[in-house]
Amino acid sequence: MAGTLIVGLDLDTRREAEAIVERLGEGVDHYKIGYQLFYGGDGLALGKALIAAGKKVFFDLKLLDIDNTVEKGVAAIAETGAAMLTVHAYPKTMAAARRGAAGSALSVLGVTVLTSTDDGDLADAGYARDAAGLVAQRAGQARDAGIGGIVASAREAEMVREIVGQEMFVVTPGIRPAGSDAGDQKRVVTPSAAVSAGASHLVVARPIIKAEDPHAAARSILADMAGGVRLA
């Protein structure tokens, strides 16, 4: 398979997000709603509307709290019919999230190391492991927790795929077409390279939503993804 494109609606308002969805039309079925839109732009209501319209919605909320709070929060998101939800990839948090999603179609994703974070940033934060080592540890913990997948840089996707096997989702943000601006991302990869490495879902926001022609930008990325088809 060539992987699935998720467009990140990293915008301030519901009106802006709906305009992007309209411009992308039938060419995109999966959308991510994160902090910016969820908290400031009526993102929860928009997500429910997109789900009702037949779209797949990924709420990128990176939950982390005591077990009961995580479990109940995940259960509430599951009730919306969302396809994906992120939590921090801590063993207790992932276990609680799995319980909250039980019996629903919601896939819980454990966030390993942010794509804007490098080895130096981890050292500053007090971690004794480099990014790849920490991703590997959390990937194994996510597998053992029995959740739906993990979020990691595509630079670690091949390693992660070997750890989690073929059934779990490997969702990769920090995707940038060749020659585009990396912005605040530090561990970026092209769409075709991400798919070749074993990513199942690619999250792309700015290269599409900030493009002069978002529809054309999405088509170009989908074409690049098709060129990176992973056979096994």
State the burial class of residue 104 (Cβ atoms within 10 Å of its Cβ: 0-12, 13-18, 19+): middle
Pull the structure tokens for residue 51: 């789900």
**62 noted as active-site residue:** yes
Tell me whether residue 190 is annotated as binding: no
Kindly list the distances between the CA atom of residue 118 and the CA atoms of 52, 161, 169, 187, 230, in Å, as whole numbers in the listed order. 39, 20, 23, 7, 27
Q: Residue 115's closest CA among 87, 161, 163, 152? A: 152
Tell me whether residue 176 is annotated as binding: yes
Tell me whether residue 219 is annotated as binding: no
CA distance 120 to 152: 17
Tell me whether residue 10 is annotated as binding: yes
Tell me whether residue 206 is annotated as binding: yes
* Alpha-carbon radius of gyration of the chain: 17
Tell me whether residue 138 is annotated as binding: no
**65 noted as active-site residue:** yes
Tell me whether residue 12 is annotated as binding: no
Q: Which long-range contacts (CB under 8 A, 24 or more apart) does 48-55 make?
A: 48/80, 48/81, 50/21, 51/80, 51/81, 51/82, 54/29, 55/21, 55/29, 55/30, 55/31
Tell me whether residue 32 is annotated as binding: yes
CA distance 128 to 146: 26
Tell me whether residue 55 is annotated as binding: no
**119 noted as active-site residue:** no
Catalytic, out of 29, 42, 65, 121: 65
Tell me whether residue 121 is annotated as binding: no
Tell me whether residue 6 is annotated as binding: no
- Binding residue positions for substrate: 10, 32, 60-69, 115, 176, 185, 205-206
- Binding residue positions: 10, 32, 60-69, 115, 176, 185, 205-206
Catalytically active residues are 60, 62, 65
